[in-house]
Chains A and B, each alone.
Chain A
């Protein structure tokens, strides 16, 4: 009986949601590929919005005592810049790649829970909408992406926008957690025949580790935001000092989430780079196991470094010293990764298509972001650099020089798979060089500004401080980044309208997504090849090659 029922069920499925075209097919889809593409479109939209916020911030700071924005506007705009780039861009865009690529990579039909997957997606535009609607109701959240109490208490941030900021973040947190559970179940249960843990593509490893972090850490963000909301709306006084609360408690819980979150924002980019470099260097990744283990070690250590965000809060010296040690030691697994990527390049046969340019750019920029992080991990130096533009520089080298370069590497790499078309190489290369130059002009001067004692998050500065020239350079760099993104957008829309020119396996890929058509059929694979190594598609190519060679 069961055998007879199966085709019927498939048919019912087909009529219910498997429409191919039109708006409805997107609104109702549970196909991981369509959901993944919607993730990418939505998050890219927020990248542009957050980028416009960044430009407004940079215009305001370009010269001393600028009156371009009021202080109230400035605080809202830099808060929305940070919150958008972290929670509506970097985290979900990487989850978007996970959605599109991961099931293909492990030879699965879809994610384990397709409808929960759709819910994860829909919560993102909703969360963004809730957060941004603050602009319509007298102002958004304005206490920075970290939202420290007591500044976020009603007494100091009375606007409803601060509540909407909390509610928006809640929705995004729920989206992440659903997504994390979905990825974990998918990776654990739906791998192709023969795909053991040590044949798992490193991008899948990165999603495994990231998802574990999401599931373990995000509830703490949800919890601490709920506490702030209860303080604001129900007088709970968790953090109100004169009613028996403790202001510092917020930071402890917040950073217990938000430091692991830093790795949520970078590990999938590690995964992308670990796929791109071996393909374009025609070599296996150097030290596969070390690459997988180092991500796991980073995840574990990531939970015991968070106090370095709180070195100046008056915690006992012994506590600070312990966390200073762990914060510096976490440089070890990260260093291993950089050196293993470099060793993968060594002796390779490297082809520089745009994905590879972004991957090498990632290595160089992330190296800077890793090294300048050690300064603020050192307790003593952190006393001087904490809360200055040094930190702004550090986070942007990691998240822009690292994660965003990784994202663009991934976009150029998988665009042919998603659309059957290449992105234009000339425009791609122009995009890369403009972005690399722009980001260094924008963020390198911030190191010096930090050493000159420029505090972060200031709405302006007096002209006797000598910070004007460096800030002007930084603003120029930010606009150069904007130009590079415009080049990308032109490339994207032009390429999307050009004829299909990409074969199924345009880069000589290693992983299973290259074994299916470009774009893949709804069911992903007609036949899932059996996996015999970490590079199954390379195995297929070689077995198909004429014996004479």
Chain B
């Protein structure tokens, strides 16, 4: 891991959430992470200990022929069950926030097109056309935004890892997700569903602007500016 890696790790990783949806994903991730680290370490330790401790010493050894132990086996059926059900409970408890936008959120329509994303802000420009951008996505900070995700051709997936994870764009249907960014700045998004040769070129930049900057940007675009 070099410095650039660590920086990138901090910048786009879902482990460094920007906003409430990412935060809730993160709230599930970390308990899951620590539980899995403990389980992996414990079970690996048990495997390695048994594998090393009980090496054959004499060729005519005959170890005790244990066929099983019901109490143990019930134990290691029930305990993982309890752990997994708890982790599921934690998941389910956070899904309410992750899956549905709050009342009164502004709406932006996102359409996947081979090979770019198009963002429609639901605002008319002076020339009567809808205000849209491609490859650059402008949003106001501290504002819940409901996203309507569509596809114009094949399947895509709108991926903003540290903001709200992702949502598929599938032709013929409208998928709903939402986002909110708490801090102004530029963030990176991508496409995570194979869509053809230009799949990797679907990266886009999310420009999170302060609310006044965002209003100014919209006004400028409406007037026909670049």
| A residues at B contact (CB < 8 Å) | 71-72, 75, 143-144, 148, 150-151, 156, 241-242, 245-248, 281-284, 286-290, 312-314, 317, 320-321, 324-325, 328-329, 331-332, 335-336, 338-340, 342-343, 345-352, 360, 363-364, 367-368, 371-372, 374-375, 378-388, 448, 451-453, 455-462, 465-467, 469-470
Chain A residues, CB < 8 A from B63: 281-283, 347-349
Flag if A332 contacts B55 (CB, 8 Å).
no
Contact size range, B: 35 or more
**Residue in chain B with minimal CB distance to A360:** B51
Flag if A328 contacts B87 (CB, 8 Å).
yes
Asked, given contacts A380-B24, A384-B161, A460-B200, whether A350 binds B51 with beta carbons under 8 Å apart, the answer is yes
Smallest beta-carbon distance A293→chain B, Å: 10
- B122-130, B136-144, B172-180, B210-218 - interface stretch: B172-180
Smallest beta-carbon distance B200→chain A, Å: 4
Q: Is B167 interfacial (CB 8 A cutoff)?
A: yes
Asked, given contacts A281-B54, A283-B66, A453-B13, whether A374 binds B171 with beta carbons under 8 Å apart, the answer is no
Q: List 21 contacting pairs A-B, 8 Å CB cutoff, sorted by A.
A: A75-B194, A247-B173, A248-B170, A284-B65, A312-B168, A317-B95, A320-B99, A324-B91, A328-B88, A336-B80, A340-B73, A342-B46, A348-B54, A367-B40, A380-B91, A383-B165, A383-B166, A386-B166, A388-B161, A458-B190, A466-B8
Smallest beta-carbon distance A379→chain B, Å: 5
Kindly identify which residue among A321, A345, A371, A461 contacts B36, using a CB–CB cutoff of 8 Å: A371
**Residue in chain B with minimal CB distance to A378:** B91
Q: Is B154 interfacial (CB 8 A cutoff)?
A: yes
Determine the main DSSP class of A at the interface with B: helix
Q: State in angstroms the CA–CA spacing of A461 and B192 once bound together.
A: 13
Flag if A332 contacts B81 (CB, 8 Å).
yes
**Residue in chain A with minimal CB distance to B28:** A380
Chain A residues, CB < 8 A from B175: 312-314
Q: Is B101 interfacial (CB 8 A cutoff)?
A: no
Kindly identify which residue among B28, B174, B194 contacts A378, using a CB–CB cutoff of 8 Å: B28
Chain B residues, CB < 8 A from A351: 55-56
Smallest beta-carbon distance A13→chain B, Å: 42
**Residue in chain A with minimal CB distance to B200:** A458
Q: State in angstroms the CA–CA spacing of A348 and B47 once bound together.
A: 12
**Residue in chain A with minimal CB distance to B12:** A453
Interface residues of B in 17-60 (CB under 8 A from A): 22, 24-25, 28-29, 32, 36, 39-40, 43-44, 46-48, 50-51, 54-57
> Which 8 A-B pairs give the minimum distances between C-beta atoms?
A466-B8, A383-B165, A387-B192, A241-B172, A384-B14, A458-B200, A314-B175, A453-B161
Flag if B32 contacts A381 (CB, 8 Å).
yes
Chain B residues, CB < 8 A from A384: 14, 22, 25, 29, 161, 165-166
Determine the main DSSP class of B at the interface with A: mixed
Kindly identify which residue among A241, A352, A378 contacts B88, using a CB–CB cutoff of 8 Å: A378
Chain A residues, CB < 8 A from B199: 71, 75, 455, 457-459
**Residue in chain A with minimal CB distance to B48:** A364
Q: State in angstroms the CA–CA spacing of A459 and B198 once bound together.
A: 8
Q: Is B15 interfacial (CB 8 A cutoff)?
A: yes
> Which of B174, B175, B196, B198 has its CB near the most chain A CB atoms (within 10 A)?
B196
Interface residues of B in 112-165 (CB under 8 A from A): 114, 153-155, 157, 159, 161-162, 164-165
**Residue in chain A with minimal CB distance to B4:** A466
Chain A residues, CB < 8 A from B173: 247-248, 314
Kindly identify which residue among A72, A143, A281, A312 contacts B157, using a CB–CB cutoff of 8 Å: A312
Flag if A328 contacts B84 (CB, 8 Å).
yes
Asked, given contacts A331-B84, A351-B56, whether A387 binds B193 with beta carbons under 8 Å apart, the answer is yes
